[in-house]
Structure 1
Amino acid sequence: MKLKRGLAAVLVAALAVGMMTGCGSKSSDKQAASDKKETLVMATNATFPPYEYVDGQDYAGIDVEVAQAIADELGMELQIQDVEFGSIISGVQSGKFDIGMAGITVTEDRKKSVNFTNTYATAKQVIIVKDGSAIQTVDDLSSNTKIGVQQDTTGDIYTTDDYGEDAVTRYNKGADAVQALLTGKVDCVVIDSEPAKEFVAANDGLKILDTEYVEEEYAICVAKDNDELLNQINDVLDKLKSNGKIDEIVNKYISAE
């Protein structure tokens, strides 16, 4: 049976509209799916064992494993960017990175630039000296002491506030500050206790003073306009704390004393 030309044209037009509508719906669905972020980009400074360091071709450490656990819970793929410590906050602030984890202490000044999650680890800054050093306690530090620190860390911030710019020598890596101590360029190094243990174990003639410099708490930094991610991570951290996963990760790298 032949259709009249006019009726055929109407049917063809209707079919084309239906096909376009169907395609448009599928395209929109695909677009909506692609709009959902599937990668969690973490900025770190992988020179801070046992929190983050390079192990062969991979990254390892407490922060790396906690971040991986968070990404797994969120159904996301973790991508790690190893950058200078001082560029982490600004990178997260600008949206270049989703989160920053590098043994980052929560401070009032940093909170002006980024938001912080609930804390996931506690730490303390300690003082490394050579065996036989005249520096025996934190009270022996003064504005005349040559203090080595990793740039932009809280060790840098605290010692600069306490003893002034002239007393502090900054290095890109904690290992560089320790090397300066070994060669006599500085009198001591102020750094987190866990990396301090690694450095002292790897270098003869160094020790950690019994008196700590300051206690602090570590958290994950997130851009101020990303409340959704902040809340998601806090929910996951609560879960990882309650089920013992964070303790398991920390105990893997830090033996109980």
Structure 2
Amino acid sequence: MKKLFALLLTLAMALSLAACGSKEETPAETPAETPAEKEAGWWKEELSTVVDGKLTVATSPDFAPYEFYAIGEDGTPQLAGFDIALAQYIADYMGLELDVVPMDFDGVIMEVGMGNVDLGMAGLSPDPKRANQMDFSDLYYKGGQSLVCLKENAGKFDSFEKANQPDVTIGAQTGSIQVDLAQENTPDANIIQLAKVTDIIAEMLSGKMDMGYIETEVAKSYQKNYPELEIVLDVPYDQAGSAIGVTKGNEALLAGVNEAIAAVLADGTMDDYVAQANELASGEKYEGLLDENGQVQTDDAAQAG
């Protein structure tokens, strides 16, 4: 009996060892590469856009020197600005044809969020509140935020405490970061949202509005044409700078855009674009949407001339 038991025990151990020896070890999973770890140019093989062969960009042409219409000697409006120049650079960098679609600012946010366009370029701040609507590129321009009023009223509104009063009317562009800044810094003021920055300027010039939250470079551009305007306060903002809104989840497109931004900043071309845009913006320009015939809408209140 002891011999039989010993034999059975030996067989059981042999079978157990055989089973262990035949079991294949599962190799450890290799973590997937993130876009930042991939080699430069990897996106070219995976790039997809809304329209094959085209880079479709939504913009709001009422934001000189970012985007606006420069009026030629023959009176023809030509889309201009350093956002437009950068958009062309990115399209060329990716080997795509550029298609720019002008619209109101809040439309830019909506169209990128719905995936109807590839990029949104309209002096966008990388606001975390927009993160569920779009991805953001690296910053391509670092600016600031300002509070503007008529020069004659500068002494009345030279602090946020003075501006933050119920009888003070303050404008901010609909859908913009300036609305949040207005609500954060002057919550007690009468905050009015308008579709275009030109509307805010027109309201201030006519005396119907006391102040306006405007991106600093844009405010400086308006000052050149309207010396009666004054930048009275620098507005604190952690995300100071402009980024490009990219269709959510399109990693290849985002990688290509960031690569192009790095290139345009490294070789100094972006500085040239900004200088050229500021020069054009100091001349005759139009800010707003063109009519159905592609002509300036003469009933728009604020045109620089």
**Aligned with residue 190 of structure 1, among 213, 228, 237:** 213
What is the deviation of 1:132? Answer: 2.5
Greater relative contact order (CA < 8 Å, ≥ 6 in sequence): 2
**Equivalent position SS for 1:121:** coil
Normalising by structure 2, report the TM-score: 0.68
What is the deviation of 1:254? Answer: 4.4
Distance 1:161 1:115 in 2: 24
Conservation of the 8 A alpha-carbon contact between 1:160 and 1:167: no
Greater than 6 Å deviation, 4+ residue runs = none
Conservation of the 8 A alpha-carbon contact between 2:135 and 2:247: yes
**Equivalent position SS for 2:117:** coil
Question: Aligned-pair RMSD on alpha carbons?
Answer: 2.0
Which AA in structure 2 matches 1:126?
S
Which AA in structure 1 matches 2:243?
A
Distance 2:160 2:184 in 1: 15
Matched, 1:42 2:62: no
What is the deviation of 1:173? Answer: 1.0
Bigger CA radius of gyration:
2
Q: How many residues align?
A: 220
Matched, 1:104 2:134: no
What is the deviation of 1:36? Answer: 8.1
**Equivalent position SS for 1:96:** coil
Distance 1:88 1:190 in 2: 19
**Aligned with residue 199 of structure 1, among 219, 222, 234:** 222
Which AA in structure 2 matches 1:131?
K
Query: Structure 1 vs Structure 2: percent identity of aligned residues?
Result: 26
Conservation of the 8 A alpha-carbon contact between 2:80 and 2:277: no
Conservation of the 8 A alpha-carbon contact between 1:175 and 1:199: no
Relative to structure 1, is the Cα distance of residues 166 and 207 closer, same or farther in structure 2, using a 3 angstrom cutoff? closer
1:222 alignment partner in structure 2: 246
Gaps of 5+ in 1: 1-34
Conservation of the 8 A alpha-carbon contact between 2:170 and 2:213: yes
Matched, 1:68 2:88: yes
Gaps of 5+ in 2: 1-49, 71-75, 280-305
Normalising by structure 1, report the TM-score: 0.80
Relative to structure 1, is the Cα distance of residues 106 and 90 closer, same or farther in structure 2, using a 3 angstrom cutoff? same
Distance 2:278 2:79 in 1: 17
Which AA in structure 2 matches 1:68?
Q
**Aligned with residue 231 of structure 1, among 219, 238, 255:** 255
Matched, 1:54 2:43: no
Conservation of the 8 A alpha-carbon contact between 1:52 and 1:63: yes
Conservation of the 8 A alpha-carbon contact between 1:138 and 1:212: no
